[in-house]
Amino acid sequence: MSWLERLRSGLSKTRQQINDTAGFLGNDVRDVFTNRLETVEDLEYALIAADVGRAATEEILEDVRRSEGRNLQDALMSALTLQLEPDARRAEFRKLGFAPQASRVSVDPRGHVVMVIGVNGVGKTTTIAKLGQYYQSRGRGVMFAAGDTFRAAAGAQLGEWGQRLGVPVVQGTDGGDPAAVAFDAASARRARGTDLLFVDTAGRLHNKHNLMEELKKVRRVVDKADPGEPSEVWLVLDAVTGQNGLQQAKKFHESTPLTGVIVTKLDGTSKGGILVPIVRELGVPIKFIGVGEGAGDLQPFDSAEFVRALFDVELPRS
């Protein structure tokens, strides 16, 4: 299966729900909003059930209603794509009444060090391996720092990926100080002039306060080793965890401000709609999506492409 097929299949449950409850996707918007108000209600329900959130659902229905002369599916796809835009762009395009053409965000890190954070099991370590492959295949030099010293074998896991990909990994000791690993790695990156360093971190400690304090400390020592870094802090979020994952993301964002989000496991049976409140409520762009367990299963996020996958529509990529 290609990544797009895996994404489509992962989103099939949500797609069915939208189809089942609003089996009038081919109808004209005006017809639906004048003669089939129960369909509008069903659609509202389906969007909320898909984790899209209430505020966004209201805006989507409003935008769809204004799209007279188009069929329901087209109008819905544009409205959903708009919801995945950053705030300012969304407001601008809603005023104009159409979705932007180019929908891909920049995934070029602003500097050299990217800190990767998130709770246990969401896919941080695997995502770092994927990021390594992604940038390496684009000619960038890459290093990893095994900063999850809390979970036994986390360092070995990253070490194995590093060996497979030919990426140097700075290791600490199990149970050792993660800030020390991050400091060593950031210093080494700077000394060697490697383009990019991805710093893995723990997802669980004895308590949440500990974890947040530790992440702040890792951030501080990286800045000490290499002033201005980390230039990026990317949160990894498992799409299957829905609203719960969003709440966790907010906590992380409060203590260690995020510059990007990577949503994993969109090949699993996620609801997919959670991407909307991630963008709207965190105000942080989605950089990549994870669509499998292999090193190649990472794609830069493209909102229009994502919405087409949700509706199983094939269009040539712009």
Ligand X SMILES: Nc1nc2c(ncn2[C@@H]2O[C@H](COP(=O)(O)OP(=O)(O)O)[C@@H](O)[C@H]2O)c(=O)[nH]1
Q: Which residues fall in the annotated binding site?
A: 118-125, 200-204, 264-267
Q: Which positions from 210 to 249 touch ligand X by CB under 6 A, shown as an x/- string?
A: ----------------------------------------
DSSP, collapsed to helix, strand or coil, labels residue 213 as: helix
Which amino acid, one-letter code, is at 251? K
Interface of this chain with ligand X, residues 99 to 138, rule: CB under 6 A: 118, 120-126
Nearer to Mg ion, 64 or 239 (CB): 239
Q: Which positions from 127 to 166 touch Mg ion by CB under 5 A, shown as an x/- string?
A: ---------------------x-----x------------
CA distances, 35 to each of 20, 39, 40, 63, 142 (Å):
18, 9, 10, 18, 58
Q: Which positions from 26 to 65 touch ligand X by CB under 6 A, shown as an x/- string?
A: ----------------------------------------
Among 53, 132, 178, 290, binds ligand X (CB under 6 A): 290
Among 85, 214, 229, 267, binds ligand X (CB under 6 A): 267
Nearer to ligand X, 229 or 297 (CB): 297
Asked whether 295 and 164 are in contact (CB, 8 A), the reply is yes
- How far apart are CB 227 and ligand X at their closest, in Å? 28
**Which of ligand X, Mg ion, none is residue 121 near (CB under 5 to 8 Å by kind)?**
ligand X
The C-alpha atoms of residue 239 and residue 228 are separated, in whole angstroms, by: 31
Asked whether 147 and 181 are in contact (CB, 8 A), the reply is yes
Asked whether 216 and 255 are in contact (CB, 8 A), the reply is yes
Q: Does 125 bind Mg ion (CB under 5 A)?
A: yes
* Terminal alpha carbon distance of the chain: 22
DSSP 241: G
- How far apart are CB 208 and ligand X at their closest, in Å? 16
Among 219, 253, 265, 271, binds ligand X (CB under 6 A): 265
Nearer to ligand X, 172 or 292 (CB): 292
Show binding-site residues for GTP: 118-125, 200-204, 264-267
Nearer to ligand X, 38 or 293 (CB): 293
- Looking at the chain, which runs of residues are DSSP E strands? 113-117, 142-145, 169-170, 196-199, 232-238, 260-264, 286-290, 298-300
The C-alpha atoms of residue 316 and residue 318 are separated, in whole angstroms, by: 6
Number of residues forming the site for ligand X (CB under 6 A)? 18
Asked whether 221 and 179 are in contact (CB, 8 A), the reply is yes
**Which of ligand X, Mg ion, none is residue 264 near (CB under 5 to 8 Å by kind)?**
ligand X
The C-alpha atoms of residue 286 and residue 279 are separated, in whole angstroms, by: 7
Number of residues forming the site for Mg ion (CB under 5 A)? 4
Closest CA to 318 of 77, 308, 310: 308
Residues at the interface with ligand X (CB under 6 A): 118, 120-126, 203, 264-265, 267-268, 290-293, 297
